[in-house]
A and B are shown apart, each in its own frame.
Chain A
Amino acid sequence: GIQVEQSPPDLILQEGANSTLRCNFSDSVNNLQWFHQNPWGQLINLFYIPSGTKQNGRLSATTVATERYSLLYISSSQTTDSGVYFCAVGSRTAGGTSYGKLTFGQGTILTVHP
């Protein structure tokens, strides 16, 4: 099956700093989502971005599908940004029909200090 690797595994920042999280995947995808898992365990949708660039406030994401990677940018980080960030991808079958299943990376644990 498809492999998903996230880096870095851990990231510690001071409030106000910027950061970039990376997600590499091993096959063509038709679904790529970035999630933030808060300390209570809730997975919060950040972006649905199988290709292209999107921005939402202080967060933005870029997926270069041909090179099989995606980047999540966090600017002016806040303590509430702390938690685990997951990249998850869905791959196509050989016939082009989506499996539907999301394969998750191991996550990046982000800690933002005041």
Chain B
Amino acid sequence: EAGVVQSPRYKIIEKKQPVAFWCNPISGHNTLYWYLQNLGQGPELLIRYENEEAVDDSQLPKDRFSAERLKGVDSTLKIQPAELGDSAVYLCASSLEAGTPQYFGAGTRLSVL
């Protein structure tokens, strides 16, 4: 069975440009998560979806970040405009439901110049 798929793996952009990341969760997983991992630290939750509903987005900087999960499957995380401090790895994870094991994708490494 395929794991969590993310694309692109790497992205280099100039500051103030927009960028988008895509995630395809494990088939049948209702819960989808976006995490941010800064260098030398553990991942931190940005947003959690139960099916197509965002149920925890308290850590998402809503002035520049947005996310959607259409039809409760794939998800897109967008940053507009990107800032230098957004350089990090963006990880997507999924689980059958909240509280069950989470499985992570390979991440998107973003560099903002």
Closest beta carbon of chain A to B26's beta carbon, Å: 12
Q: Which residues of B contact A88 (CB under 8 A)?
A: 42-43, 102
B56 and A101 within 8 A (CB): yes
Chain A residues with Cβ below 8 Å from B55 are 100
Say whether A43 contacts B48, CB under 8 Å.
no
CB-based contact A45/B103 at 8 Å: yes
Residues B99 and A102 in contact, CB atoms below 8 Å apart: no
Q: Which residues of the partner chain A approach B42 to less than 8 Å between Cβ atoms? A: 4, 86, 88, 104-107
Contacts of B102 in A (CB 8 A): 33, 88, 102
A111 adjacent to chain B (CB < 8 Å): no
Instruction: Give, as a whole number of angstroms, the nearest-CB distance from B15 to chain A.
Output: 23
Say yes or no: A43 contacts B104, CB within 8 Å. yes
Interface magnitude class on chain B:
20 to 34
Q: How far is the CB of A52 from chain B (nearest CB, A)?
A: 15
User: Nearest chain-B residue to A43 (Cβ)?
Assistant: B104
Is A41 interfacial (CB 8 A cutoff)?
Answer: yes
In the assembled complex, B53 has its CB within 8 A of some CB on chain A: no
Measured between beta carbons, the chain A residues less than 8 angstroms from B103 are 45
Q: Give chain A nearest CB distance to B90 CB in angstroms.
A: 11
Contact residues in B for A40 (Cβ distance below 8 Å): 106
Query: Could you tell me if A31 and B99 are in contact, using CB atoms closer than 8 angstroms?
Result: yes
A33–B101 CB distance below 8 A: yes
Closest to B47 in A: A101
Contact of B45 among A4, A98, A101, A107 (CB under 8 A): A101
Partner of A100 from the list B31, B44, B89, B91 (CB cut-off 8 Å) is B31
Please tell me if the beta carbons of A42 and B106 are within 8 angstroms of each other in the complex: yes
> Which A residues fall within an 8 A CB radius of B?
4, 30-31, 33, 35, 40-43, 45, 48, 86, 88, 90, 98-102, 104-107
Q: Footprint of A on B, CB under 8 Å?
A: 31, 33, 41-45, 48, 50, 55-56, 89, 91, 95, 98-104, 106-107, 109
